[in-house]
Structure 1
């Protein structure tokens, strides 16, 4: 009897000891089991989840179409901003209108910028996209400083340009000289103009001849020959002589030659009239 009991006790193994801190997988099985039980108990949940899956599947081609449509978006309008003197807003809008119908994303904006900056009056152009279909152009025009040789204009930055309508710049000084010396002429003109204003004289123009001789032109019509050497000293000498001797008779002076060492030579308008055209 004792032997039989012992055999039976060995046939029923005891529950293995569980290591402290070990995790059982049984609760996970229980959670999935609960979810399956809920779905089985409530059939409309299965229908709802199926509908969600179908909707997500339908949104994929719709979203893809939207992305592709955006990639193929086109420019439909152009806005031009800026202050214009020589060019016109309408003309620039017309020029930029060549990109109407072009791709919003793939169009190279630097190409538009380069094209617009080739216009004579345009100093710089900034081009940007505005969603969903607009092209915005900010234009800065060249500011004319003076008329240059052959009717061209020189900008305040020293750039020579030849627009078809230079006369719109209005009354400006007239500068002349070799193109490669344009900045030298501008610097000399600005220096002389500032000094003349301090003595009540108005600057009208400055000419630099190919051989290097300078000639100053005043608004009163007086021409001042300064030559090639010691130009600043000769200019100051003219100012001194003008204030002490010529200011009261400025309307009679035609030409002043300041190339002399100790003085100037004055040509009077009356002398020119008396000499006549054939002298």
Structure 2
């Protein structure tokens, strides 16, 4: 007899439907994995802060300009300060009055400074704003040291200038020479002036000719010819002769020529008058 054997087996689930035309059996790759990796590597906090800083940097000038425009006023007054001898406070205030009514913030202070420093007597000008509508100008004048060739003045810093009113400088020594040698003349004049004052004599002037010869003028009217060479030695020789032989008769001396090797030649006033033209 045949025995019937019943064999039970687990049900096999049906295969998932395969897309038509698909042949790859590998799992499908993540299409956005690379993008997510790049985004994860970006330091978003630093990027955000940088963007904020750039935005603020662009807004600050714009905002500042808006604030200044809202605060801007017209210049209504100009105050001038300084000690004046050659120029005048009123004249400088009148010159600075050209900026009355101009913008407080937009006015170029360097332009005002340059304009004022073109005035003959002005050594320097400092200009500053005073809120809300005022300018303050501090003026420093040139300090004249002596009269120069052709009626000009020379300042203590060696600047030559030609103001319209040089006479307001008062009694000053008279210096002369080529313009390019002005500092040499000043240096020699200071040396001789100090030596004269130490001996009780007054300095009146010094001239340097184009060919290089020096001539000294004393306050008592005596002219001293020193020439081109060994000027300092000749000056010392004159001083020695003057103290030993001429001081007692200084009012009779007209001119001293120190261009000699061992002494000086003296021209007396009587001789000068006698040799002069007769009327």
Higher helix share: 1
Question: Using the alignment, how far apart are the partners of 2:272 and 2:228 within structure 1?
Answer: 26
Deviation at 1:70, TM superposition (A): 1.2
For 2:194, the equivalent position in structure 1 comes to 194
> Which protein is bigger by CA-based radius of gyration?
2
State the aligned residue count. 215
Alpha-carbon spacing, 1:276–1:210, altered in 2? closer, same or farther (3 Å): closer
State the partner residue of 2:135: 135
Give 1:69 deviation, angstroms.
Answer: 3.2
Q: Superposed, which structure 2 residues align to 1:101-112 within 5 Å? A: 101-112=101-112
CA–CA separation in structure 1 for the residues paired with 2:270 and 2:148: 31
Shift of 1:276: 4.0
Q: Distance in 2 between matches of 1:258 and 1:166?
A: 33
Q: 2: distance between equivalents of 1:150 and 1:65?
A: 56
Name the Cα RMSD after superposition. Answer: 1.5
Partners of 1:67 and 1:240 in 2: CA distance: 73
- Given that 2:158 and 2:182 are in contact with CA atoms closer than 8 Å, whether structure 1 keeps it comes out as yes
Aligned residue runs from structure 1 range 1-279, under 5 A? 68-71=69-72, 73-278=73-278
- TM-score w.r.t. the length of structure 2 is 0.75
Question: Counterpart of 1:44?
Answer: none
Q: Identify if the C-alpha distance between structure 1 residues 65 and 198 changes in structure 2 by more than 3 Å, giving closer, same or farther.
A: closer
Measured in 1, the distance between the counterparts of 2:246 and 2:181 equals 32
The answer on whether the counterparts of 2:68 and 2:105 sit within 8 Å (CA) in structure 1 is: no
The alpha-carbon deviation at position 272 of structure 1 amounts to 1.6
After the TM superposition, which parts of structure 1 deviate over 4 Å for at least 4 consecutive aligned residues? 64-67
1:133 Cα deviation after fit: 0.1
Question: Relative to structure 1, is the Cα distance of residues 67 and 146 closer, same or farther in structure 2, using a 3 angstrom cutoff?
Answer: closer
Residues 216, 141 of structure 1: alpha-carbon distance in 2 compared, 3 angstrom cutoff? same
Gaps spanning 5+ residues in structure 2: where? 1-64
TM-score (norm 1): 0.75
